[in-house]
């Protein structure tokens, strides 16, 4: 075996996503508990730490989704504010990284840098920030900052936001006193003194999700971890090669950015049992009502007269429709409609079956042995550096994975058996960022 002679075997990273607002959470399951009480967050975080995971990941909501002019009522909805939950989780965990999704459009650098630095101190170096942006005036209606930013400005503001936060995180001198900073750029003109010293891991870990060329460049220039959706081995290898290929232009090494797709998983005692379970879960995720909703989101028109067990609409989508608000558009409606119809025709699927088939996310489905082997293969073949697991049950959805798959990954030498360091950067094998030169007068 070559592996036994290869000390630098590539190990994978694991993170846990708290299954929140989406139609993948099976809230009708008898084991489904509160989406909001602290016990639920504590259970999942403790399970992730028991499994020696790198970090625990929270998404963000800033406006409840609306559909046909009414608040959307079919999926799990309602979630607490991420940073506050993570500060509380810092009290009940010791090593687990704590990652908050926080929007760079509806926040200001000084305040958010301070909140993130505080979490990093109070967790002794375990904080991460998943930077997201919005150009959505619908969401902006909850903020006095207002809503609208051009798509292009989203990333320039986000990039300047992250750079400004890094200046603030670096602004205390080595001897522990604040130094004045001043930043003047396209989006921010701020000056003063930051109130928090450099954090135990230098800077909080920066995570970014984004697949457009602008998003990939932003990740290559500024992120420590990139959260992706590329599910297949081939797509993952291509994405990984592309994004890592952009690092050198920013003076960064191949290992300074970790690629972690969000994935689901279903475990069974046999392959057939796992497939059957996965099918059952998908049927519960895509209820008849949810199937119609999914089609309405593409067609942009009321389809409540359709039978979800019947065929897809015979007419084309309305290109200008704004039936659904607060949800990311996944692509061109006409293109999706064409693809769905082709799928339906080819396999003889009803509307609901088509939605089930077309909207499934990357999944590892199988026995603990095959899932461990597949995940390991993804990582050793450079399709990813690890995974952010998205369970379909709150809060016990990670229990089986940690009890069965993690030990097998550990036996293979593909995953740590103990934390080797205390900070999230140490778990991810990321260097502590060098102190920026950056204080007064450092920016244009």
Partner 1 sequence: MTAHSRPPHLAVALDTPGAPGPFDAAPYVRLARLAERGTLDFVTLGDTFTRPGPDALAVLARVAPHTARVGLVPTVTTTHTEPFHVATAVQTLDWVSRGRAGWQADVSRTPAEAALFGRRPAAPAGALWREAADVADVAGRLWDSWEDDAEIRDAATGRFIDRDKLHHVDFRGTSSTGEPFSVRGPSIVPRPPQGRPVIVVDATEDAARETAAARADVALVRAEDPDTAHAARTELRARAQELGRDPDHLRVLVSLPVELPAAGDAAGLADLLTDWHAAEAADGFHLRPADPERDLGRLVDGTVPALRRRGLLRRAYPGTTLRDHLGLARPAGRYAAVRTGEAS
Radius of gyration of the chain (CA): 22
Q: To the nearest whole angstrom, how small is the minimum distance from the Cβ of residue 30 to partner 1?
A: 10
Q: To the nearest whole angstrom, how small is the minimum distance from the Cβ of residue 344 to partner 1?
A: 22
d(CA 405, CA 394): 19
Q: Which residue, 105 or 370, is less far from partner 1 as judged by CB?
A: 105
Q: To the nearest whole angstrom, how small is the minimum distance from the Cβ of residue 352 to partner 1?
A: 12
- Restricting to residues 335-374, which ones interact with partner 1 according to CB under 8 A? none
Give the per-residue contact string, 13-52, with partner 1 (x = CB under 8 A; - = no). --------------xx-------xxx---x----------
Q: To the nearest whole angstrom, how small is the minimum distance from the Cβ of residue 244 to partner 1?
A: 34
Upper half-sphere CA count for residue 49 (Cβ side, 13 Å): 19
> Distance of CA 56 to CAs 53, 99, 129, 403, Å?
8, 6, 11, 17
d(CA 29, CA 46): 22
Residue 444: count other Cβ atoms within 10 Å of its Cβ. Answer: 7
How many residues lie near partner 1 (CB under 8 A)? 62
* Region near partner 1 per CB under 8 A, out of 226-234, 283-291, 396-404, 427-435: 283-291
Task: Check residue 144 for interaction with partner 1 (CB under 8 A).
Answer: yes
Task: Check residue 237 for interaction with partner 1 (CB under 8 A).
Answer: no
Task: Check residue 195 for interaction with partner 1 (CB under 8 A).
Answer: yes
Q: Which residue, 83 or 402, is less far from partner 1 as judged by CB?
A: 83
d(CA 297, CA 203): 40
Residue from 9, 22, 50, 114 touching partner 1 (CB under 8 A): that is 114
Q: Which residue, 334 or 422, is less far from partner 1 as judged by CB?
A: 422
Rounded to 10 degrees, the C-alpha dihedral 389/240/328/150 comes to: 140
Residue from 22, 124, 327, 436 touching partner 1 (CB under 8 A): that is 124
Task: Check residue 118 for interaction with partner 1 (CB under 8 A).
Answer: yes
Q: Which residue, 111 or 174, is less far from partner 1 as judged by CB?
A: 111
* Region near partner 1 per CB under 8 A, out of 86-94, 254-262, 263-271, 371-379: 86-94
d(CA 16, CA 99): 10
Residue 239, judged by CB atoms within 10 A of its CB (0-12, 13-18, 19+), counts as buried
Residue from 16, 44, 90, 243 touching partner 1 (CB under 8 A): that is 90
SS3 379: helix
Quickly tell me which residue has 């939950």 as its tokens: 85
Q: What are residue 114's DSSP bridge partners?
A: none
In sequence order, the 6+-apart residues with CB closer than 8 A to the CB of 295 are 303, 306, 312, 313, 351, 355
Q: To the nearest whole angstrom, how small is the minimum distance from the Cβ of residue 390 to partner 1?
A: 18
Dihedral of CA 82/87/89/94: which sign? Answer: positive
Task: Check residue 63 for interaction with partner 1 (CB under 8 A).
Answer: yes
Q: Distance from first CA to last CA of the chain, Å, rounded? A: 56
* Region near partner 1 per CB under 8 A, out of 110-118, 314-322, 343-351, 355-363: 110-118
Query: Which residues contact partner 1 by CB under 8 A?
Result: 27-28, 36-38, 42, 61-64, 70-81, 83-85, 87-88, 90-92, 106-108, 110-111, 114-115, 117-119, 121-122, 124, 141-145, 178, 188-193, 195-197, 287-290
């Amino acid at each position: 075996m070559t592996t036994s002679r290869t000390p630098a075997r590539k190990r994978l990273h694991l993170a846990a996503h708290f299954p929140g607002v989406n139609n993948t959470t099976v809230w009708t399951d008898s084991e489904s508990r509160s989406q909001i009480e602290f016990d639920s967050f504590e259970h999942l975080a403790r399970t992730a730490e028991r499994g020696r995971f790198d970090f625990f990941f929270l998404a963000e909501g800033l406006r409840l989704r609306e559909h046909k002019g009414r608040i959307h009522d079919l999926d799990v909805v309602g979630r607490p504010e991420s940073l506050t939950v993570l500060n509380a989780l810092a009290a009940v965990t010791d090593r687990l990284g704590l990652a908050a999704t926080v929007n760079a459009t509806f926040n200001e650098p000084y305040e958010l840098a301070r909140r993130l630095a505080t979490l990093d101190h109070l967790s002794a170096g375990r904080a991460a920030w998943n930077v997201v942006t919005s150009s959505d005036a619908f969401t902006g209606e909850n903020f006095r900052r207002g809503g609208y930013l051009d798509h292009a400005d989203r990333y320039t503001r986000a990039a300047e936001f992250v750079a400004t936060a890094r200046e603030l995180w670096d602004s205390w001198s080595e001897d522990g006193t604040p130094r004045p900073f001043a930043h003047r750029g396209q989006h921010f003109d701020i000056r003063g003194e930051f109130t928090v010293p450099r954090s135990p891991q230098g800077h909080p870990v920066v995570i970014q999700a984004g697949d457009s060329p602008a998003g990939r460049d932003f990740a290559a220039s500024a992120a420590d971890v990139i959260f992706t959706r590329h599910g297949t081995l081939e797509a993952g290898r291509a994405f990984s090669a592309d994004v890592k290929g952009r690092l050198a232009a920013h003076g960064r090494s191949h290992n300074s950015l970790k690629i972690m797709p969000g994935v689901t998983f279903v475990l069974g005692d046999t392959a057939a049992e796992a497939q059957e379970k996965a099918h059952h879960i998908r049927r519960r995720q895509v209820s008849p009502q949810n199937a119609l909703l999914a089609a309405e989101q593409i067609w942009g028109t009321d389809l409540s007269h359709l039978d979800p067990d019947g065929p897809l609409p015979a007419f084309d989508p309305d290109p200008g429709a704004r039936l659904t608000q607060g949800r990311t558009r996944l692509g061109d409606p006409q293109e999706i409609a064409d693809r769905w119809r082709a799928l339906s025709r080819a396999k003889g699927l009803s509307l609901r079956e088509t939605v089930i088939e077309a909207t499934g996310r990357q999944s590892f489905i199988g026995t603990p042995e095959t899932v461990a082997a597949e995940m390991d293969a993804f990582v050793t073949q450079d399709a990813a550096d690890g995974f952010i697991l998205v369970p379909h049950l709150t809060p016990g959805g990670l229990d089986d994975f940690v009890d069965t798959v993690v030990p097998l990954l550990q036996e293979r030498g593909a995953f740590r058996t103990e934390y080797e360091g205390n900070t999230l950067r140490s778990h991810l094998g990321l260097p502590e960022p060098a102190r920026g030169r950056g204080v007064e007068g450092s920016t244009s």
